[in-house]
Each structure stands twice: as structure tokens, then as C-alpha cells.
Structure 1
């Protein structure tokens, strides 16, 4: 059994992927070629955003977003400690300080009720994460940001394709960023990412930032990075976009089947807000004796993973021994992710659920 099954997906698009990659090899425009522009148009239309800027990774997308907003050394950016390190890593790389705010105990997304108290005169942005495939509470977050004149950057690395009150993830805030790492809901065959915005001047700054800060050849009005999405990854993603809407629906259906199959157990199941849809980048449960369940499932050939075992305020690079973020600390001890991908069969779900119940 696969934790994420990319091979089954590939079998559906093998011919189209090969043809699109061959086209890139034939025209030889490997950087900023026609596939990148086509993909940016396709992704912007999918999210409903005015502008999409392809990036070399989800990490670089976050970096580009903050650089375009002018975030620099000495600034503060409010974010969550319960996420992959890239979220806070990019803040620190700019010399800014990640200010961690605790999470909601049910969704594991940043708790909007705690954000305002963390704002200081040094705060320059709020960066929530749409964790496990579900968007954070952006109405509440945007209202706080507007009150204080702050931009909001959605880290939507896990939520591309999800909706919040009918609107797509990555079109909910000043800038939305996502990742096309292979295991993401929409993943390439290597690294990739994108930024989204409805602000044309901001989009222009992000485009310049991703290309060494230049607005024309050998003219650099700003510092930038080499953050470009390559043409072969764009070709792969264009092939996958044909499947993606159907895969989003399948992910939702599989999430519901898991919920039904595990409803009568002592496991804490994911909570999806009524106004949200989730793409279930992970199907993450909570259980006190996580290690025992992990070992039991492993012995039965069922792979699991932990997202995330150490919250960022406890990581050596950010170590904040005096930080009081009790929900993040507690959740990190008991989360366990079960296999999740659009090609998970009914029999596999039944086998996993049965194995979980037997272990309990």
C-alpha cells in the first residue's frame, strides 16, 4: 500500500505528459517558455485570481511574496508554529522575526482570536497556513489585517483546490502561495510553486523578484532571487490540471469515507468547517498512544506519517523555551496521518479502518 500513489495517477496521463515534455525538448525554451505562461493563465482562471506567478518552489513563492511586500530585517511576521518549517524559514531568511500564534484545537489552523494581541509596531504581515488541505478563517484574519493596515499571505501549500465560503484557496488574501511538490494535491515531478494576487503592481514586483529583480534584461531595480518555474514542470502540471478537478472531488469523498469508517472510535477525527471544503492533503487523526498505533499499522503493511512532530517554536533554529503555545505543543504529540490520495480504493479504506480499530 502506498501512502501517496503517484504511479496510478501517472498511468492516466502518461501519453499527454510525454507529448508535452517532448514539445519542451523540441522548442528548447526551458526557462520562461510558453508552457509556463499557459500554466499561469490556467491556474489564475482556476482560482479566480487576476494574476498567477509561477515559482521554483512553494518556499520560493513565500519568499517572493514577502520580498515584493518589502519585508526586511527587523520586521515581524505573525504565523503559526504548527506547520512545515518553510513557512517560518522564509521569514527568518529575510532577517525578520516569525511571531508564533497558537492554533485552534479542532482544525489545527491559526487561531484568529489570538492574532491581534501579537501585533506590534514592527508587524508587517500575517502569514496563516491552510493546514492539511483546509483554509483558515480568512474573514476573521482579513478583518484584523485591514484594521491594522497589514497584508495577509496565505501559505496554501497544502490547500490548493480547497474552498472557503465558495472562493478558492490562494484567492482569499493579499497574496496566496502554493507548492507543487510531488506529494501536494497538485504536484509536479520536481519542485515548483506559484503566487497569486489581484493586485497588478504587486504581481509585477513578484515577477521581477523571481527573476533576479530585473524589469528588463540587465536592469535590476530591486533585489531578487532565481525563483523561476521551469518549463518541463509546467508541462507536467498542465497535464495534471486535466485530472485535478476530479481528483479534488475524490479527495473529499475519500475523506468522508474515512470519517464514516472511523466515527465510532476514540480517535479524534479532522474537523472541517461547514463553510469549507478540504482537499485532504493529509488525513490526519489524533490519538494519545500514537506511537503504538503507528507501530501496529506498520506491522500490517499500512504506512503512516507524522505532520508535524515538533512545532516550530521547539525547533533548535527557532527555540523559544518560554513560548506558551499549549495547543500546538499538545497536538504535536498525538497527530498521525493515514494514507491519502485520489486513487485510494474502497477496499483499501476498509482495510485501513479495520486495522485501526483492531489496534485500538
Structure 2
């Protein structure tokens, strides 16, 4: 995924389109009501089954979903946990990360991995990203390993597997460094027949409701082919128990995917590939209809992209966002503040420069993209983008 400029529309065409654009209702960034509606009966049936069973924690529904999702990703073990951030933290703990260890991660993914690193007392070692993908690169990973990273976290951002993930995994193996894949935005993406999450030592997933595979509340999972790591995560998610009430592993907590959410996920999982294909169709429709010289679109290929978010770039991002809001189209920024510039750090990383990360933070803008969008709604968003009037005539593009 990169960004491709378009520049064929004149100012007069912008004005003509502006005069015909008239929307009565807001086009949401995501519409969970539309997602839930066709599944209403099946969801109610799944939840009723759980309620009737009286088994609400770590029961048959969790076991069933874990087995099915592990098979879907192509790995031997899936361990359901309470949320995606816990999944990252428990995966790191299972890899032996301790206080003071350096963990390499990107800084453009809203502090989720960074918070997990800090919860252990470890130290984030921030990597810059490629401008065309917003993901870590092989060169950045190698630089982080040379700088002392004990574990590398690669985040598959916006729904695309990080380019060169197989080379990154091979490098980590050669150097004896564990690789954790953050797949919170990449459920079902695949390269060469292998799905996101199957390249590293271990992977973390989120099932937050807006994810490509989302529950009706929080949820997450850790996946791996390593039996030892899987056993460690299972202990960590339940207080560190080796046996009931016997704590044998430090760093444990109560972090369990509950039966209701597991049952709900089992309803949605069979349709994940179809929903991902619809997301790709929406992205392709945007690419064929958005035509504005100041807006760069994400370039994407095949199944390595599942269009979790459709993110454009614009040097006048805030102006475009205001215009879209006035045109009854929602947008969002994923993400406006790089981790190393968060006020929480109080300038601790002031001497760290991540030029691409910082550039993208000022330009990215997310447009609505979810499987239930109609073609008409996609066209509505595209018309709104094309009708935007730039605030400065001397702006030449996104750079």
C-alpha cells in the first residue's frame, strides 16, 4: 500500500461538483448497527445458548472459537484474552520481556504497543516507517536489532501486511530476536497463502467491535505455533496459575475472553473473508472515483490488504476534514500524535526524530470504510472529497 496522487480536476470542476452535492444525513465512519442487523437472530441465538448453559468464563464457546480461529490463521494455538492491548502485553511477557529490556515498535499506532511495553517496565525503541505503507521496514528492524532490541513488534497498520514481512521474520530468526506481529487491524490478510500472524513467533489480535473481526465488546487473542509460548500465555491470562490458586508464573492477571464474546465471534468468523472482499471493493471504488489534486490515495494490491481503514493523505488535512463534516461525511485521524511526542513522556524523547512518522501524523485522514456501505454511500463520500476547495492556492500536494 502506498499513496498515489491524482491531479486531473480543475477548480471549476470542483465548483460544479460542490453545487450538486447535497446530503441529508451523516455518512458515518463506521456503522455498527448496520453490521449487527443481518446477524440479529444468530447473535441472539448464540447468546441465549451461553446464558442457558450457565458457563460464562473459559467454557466451550471460548474453546470452540480458539480452535476455529487458530485453524483460520493457520497456527496451532489461539488463546483468548480480554482485549488487544492485553494480547500484546501477555505475548511480550511470554517471550520473556522484563523490566529494562528494549522492545522495538513503531510510533504511529496510538500507543497501544507502547503502553503494553511500559506496563512491563520495558523500554520502547521507536522505529520509523515507510512513507508508502506506514509500516516498519526491514532496514528499520535491522537498525533496532543493532541498537539492542530484545523483541521486535511489527504492526500491520490500516489493514495491510507490512511489506517484506517474510524478510523481516527471516532477519529476526538469523539474529535470534523474537518477532511479535500486531494484527489488530489485519484479520484475514494474507501473502503467499500465509495469513497475518503466521510469520513471527507470536501474534496479537484485537476483537474490538470496529475491527474486521469484531465482538460486541472488548476481546483479544494471542496466536502462536509454539506450544511453550501458548502454555505460558494461558497461565498469564489467569493470574499466572499453574494449578488453581497456585501462582507459578509472574506477571499474570485476569484477562480472559468471555463466553458471550467468543460465541459472538464464532457467528462472525465464517463471513470474515467475504467482508474483507467487500472492504477491498469499497477501496477500489474510492480509487476510481476520488479525483482531487491535493488528496493522495492509498495504493493497494491483492489479499495482503483487507482495508480495515481507508486512509488518504492531504497536507491541508484539517481543512478537508472540516469540509467533509459540513458535507455530512464523518472522518477521523489514525493517528494524530506519534508515541514519542505524547505529553505523557514529558519530553523524554525530544531528541528522537522519526521524520516519516511525524510527516504522516499531520497528513493522514480516514474516510468511511466498512462492509455494509452501499456503492451510493461510497460515491457520496467521493463526491464530497472532490468538491473540497483548498484553502491555499500555492499548495501543490501532500508534500
Q: TM-score, normalised by structure 2?
A: 0.87
Q: Does 1 or 2 have the higher relative contact order (CA < 8 Å, sep 6+)?
A: 2
CA contact (8 A) 1:305 1:336 kept: yes
Q: Is the 8 A contact 1:81 1:311 kept in 2?
A: yes
User: Could you tell me which residue of structure 2 aligns to residue 204 of structure 1?
Assistant: 231
Q: Which position in structure 2 is the counterpart of 1:171?
A: 198
Q: Which moved more, 1:298-307 or 1:254-263?
A: 254-263
Hey, what does 1:12 align to over in structure 2?
Answer: 38
Quote the offset at 1:264 in angstroms. Answer: 5.8
Q: 1:194-251 deviations in whole A, cap 9, x for unaligned?
A: 1110111111111111111112212221021111101111111111113222101111
Task: Give 1:325's match in structure 2, choosing from 354, 365, 374.
Answer: 354
Larger mean Cα displacement after TM superposition, 146-155 or 116-125: 116-125
- Per-residue displacement from partner, 1:25-53 (whole Å, max 9, x unpaired)? 11111110111000001101111111111
Contact persistence 2:77–2:227 (CA under 8 A)? yes
Aligned to 2:210: 183
- Once the two structures are superposed, the pairs formed by residues 1-360 of structure 1 within 5 Å of their partners are 1-120=27-146, 122-136=148-162, 137-223=164-250, 224-262=252-290, 265-272=293-300, 274=301, 277-318=304-345, 319=347, 320-360=349-389
Equivalent-residue separation in structure 2 for 1:276 and 1:332 (angstroms): 26
> Could you say what secondary structure the match of 1:39 adopts?
helix
Bigger-Rg structure (1/2): 2
Number of equivalences: 359
**Partner SS state of residue 128, structure 1:** strand
Structure 1: state its 5+ residue gaps: none
Residues 302-329 of structure 1: per-residue CA shift (max 9 Å, x gap) = 0000000011110122341111110000
Counterpart Cα distance in 1 of 2:61 and 2:315 = 47
Unmatched runs of 5 consecutive residues or more in structure 2 = 1-26, 390-399
Q: Structure 1 residue 144: deviation in Å? A: 2.1
SS at match of 1:277: coil
- Cα deviation, residue 115, structure 1: 2.0
Is the contact made by 2:294 and 2:315 (CA closer than 8 Å) also made in structure 1? Answer: no
**Hey, what's the Cα distance between the residues in 1 that align with 2:296 and 2:192?**
25
Alpha-carbon offset, residue 147 of structure 1: 2.2
Task: State how far apart, in whole Å, the 2-side matches of 1:73 and 1:234 are.
Answer: 32
Q: Secondary structure at the match of 2:383?
A: helix
Conserved 8 A contact 1:135-1:276: no
**Deviations 1:92-136 (CA, angstroms, capped at 9, x unpaired):** 110110100100001100122122222257421000100000011
1:283 Cα deviation after fit: 0.3
What is the CA–CA distance in structure 2 between the aligned matches of 1:56 and 1:140, rounded to whole Å? 31
Superimposed CA distance per residue, residues 264-307 of structure 1 (whole angstroms, 9 cap, x where no aligned partner): 643211133x4752111110000010111100010111000000
Could you tell me whether the CA contact under 8 Å between 2:110 and 2:337 is conserved in 1?
A: no
- 1:265 and 1:357 in contact (8 A); partners too: no
Cα distance, 1:253 vs structure 2? 1.1
- 1:263: how far off? 5.0
CA distance in 2, matches of 1:119, 1:48: 28
Distance 1:289 1:297 in 2: 13
- Mapped to 1, the partners of 2:156 and 2:269 lie a distance apart of 21
Q: What secondary structure is seen at the aligned counterpart in 2 of 1:11? A: helix
Correspondence for 2:24: none
2-structure distance, mates of 1:84, 1:160? 19
The worse-fitting range, judged by mean Cα deviation, of 37-46 and 121-130 is 121-130
Runs of 4+ aligned residues of structure 1 deviating over 6 Å after TM superposition are: none
